[in-house]
Structure 1
Amino acid sequence: MRHVNWEHADRRLLAALRDCGRDPRVAATARALSHGGEHGAVWLAAGLVCAAADRERRQGWLRGTALVGAAHLASMGVKRVVRRPRPRLPRLEPLVKTLGRHSFPSSHATAAAAATVVFGALRPAGGRLVPPLAAAICVSRLVVGVHYPTDVAAGALLGGLTARLGAGWLRAAPVAGRGGDSHG
């Protein structure tokens, strides 16, 4: 059986995706996605907007938004423990600046995966609209050169797991107009 050198594969895939950022249109899109995903901002804002707009499931949206925030905080805690440095690629500088020096797991991917799970559980449209944007934000972190693929994969796993752990709490949110039925 052939041994896979994960570190080598991680760096090669990162270099290939970061190289895509040489195209100015790709770089601009990746920067915009990366900035939008900072601290889970796009997901937290979306959750609050949906809570304001969808009165029937307001409590669910607020709980889902809280789960996204909790997932983001969990990723920050893991980063403080693992302390993996951000990647450095020869001749390919990162396309964005980062506030932190640590890379594992990707907090962008953590929040994106959590949003995918919780927003999809709240409304069918969330299950169709959120995953492509979440995937694009995850890939943007590779194109801008600030995460290894394994950072993104671990972040997505952490976000999905955090959201799944909170699924019971999310389902228990009261649904307005249903006489207390919380399973709408």
Structure 2
Amino acid sequence: MRYVNCAAADRLLLAALRDCGRQPHIAAAARALSHAGEHGVFWVAAGLAGAASDHQRRGAWLRAMALVAAAHLASMGLKRAVRRPRPQLPCGEPLVRTPAGHSFPSSHAAAAAAAAVAYGALGPAGRRIAPPIAAAMCVSRLVVGVHYPTDVAAGAALGGLAARLGARWSLAGSGPEPVRRVRTRGRHD
């Protein structure tokens, strides 16, 4: 049986995706997604836009946005505890600068996955729009060369779990109460 060295697989996958960044249009898209996701700004803006446009579920949008922010903050705390250095690639400098020198877990991925889960729970538009943008943002962190795949996977798992655990709170009061049937004893009309 052959065992896979996780660190080697991490480096190989990162090098392959980073190589995609040599194509100008891919590099530009990856840079744009990385900049938009800095400190969860894109996802907070999306939550505010949802709250502004969906009056019936405004509170749910704001609570979902709070889950996204919480996932981002949790990843930042974990990143400071783990202190894994960012990748050093032989293919050159990363395509973007980063505010911190640590990479595990990816805070971009944590916020993106939390948004995909939390905003996706708010209706069809969220389910159609948030997951593909979140996936693209996660991949962008590899293309720009600032995270290992395991950083992104851990960040996405953290964000998705945080949003899933907070789903009941987030959705509280997000629409009309369901009609409940009450059983009574006696006559049935």
For normalisation by structure 1, the TM-score amounts to: 0.94
Report 1:92-131 matches (<5 A).
92-131=92-131
Tell me the equivalent position of 1:22.
22
Q: Could you tell me how far apart the structure 2 residues matched to 1:171 and 1:32 are?
A: 31
Which residue number in structure 1 is paired with residue 159 of structure 2? 159
CA distance in 2, matches of 1:133, 1:117: 12
Percent identity reads 70
Distance 2:54 2:28 in 1: 33
Amino acid at match of 2:20: C
Task: List runs of 5+ in structure 1 lacking aligned partners.
Answer: none
Q: Which residue of 2 aligns with 1:171?
A: 171
Distance 1:125 1:174, change over 3 A: closer
User: In structure 1, what is the Cα distance between the partners aligned to 2:155 and 2:178?
Assistant: 30
Q: List 4+ stretches of structure 1 deviating above 3 A.
A: none
- For the residue of structure 1 that corresponds to 2:45, the secondary structure is helix
Q: How does 1:1-184 map to 2 (within 5 A)?
A: 1-175=1-175, 178=176, 181=177
Aligned-pair distance for 1:174? Answer: 4.6
Provide the residue aligned with 2:186 in structure 1: none
2:88 counterpart SS class: coil
Residues 173 and 182 of structure 1 are in contact (CA less than 8 Å); yes or no, is this contact kept in structure 2?
A: no
Instruction: Give 2:185's aligned residue.
Output: none
**SS of aligned partner of 1:46:** helix
**Contact 1:114–1:163 (Cα < 8 Å) also in 2:** yes
- What SS class does the counterpart of residue 145 from structure 2 fall into? coil
- The amino acid of 1:24's aligned partner reads P
Residue 147 of structure 2: SS of its match in structure 1?
Answer: coil
Contact 1:113 1:156 (8 Å CA) reproduced: yes
Amino acid at match of 1:100: A
Distance across 2 between alignment mates of 1:95 and 1:133: 19
Aligned residue identity for 1:56 = Q
SS state of the match for residue 122, structure 1? coil
Rg: which structure is higher? 2
Q: Which consecutive residues of structure 2, in runs of 5 or more, have no partner in the other structure?
A: 180-189
- Distance in 1 (CA, whole Å) between partners of 2:112 and 2:173 is 22
Aligned residues: 179
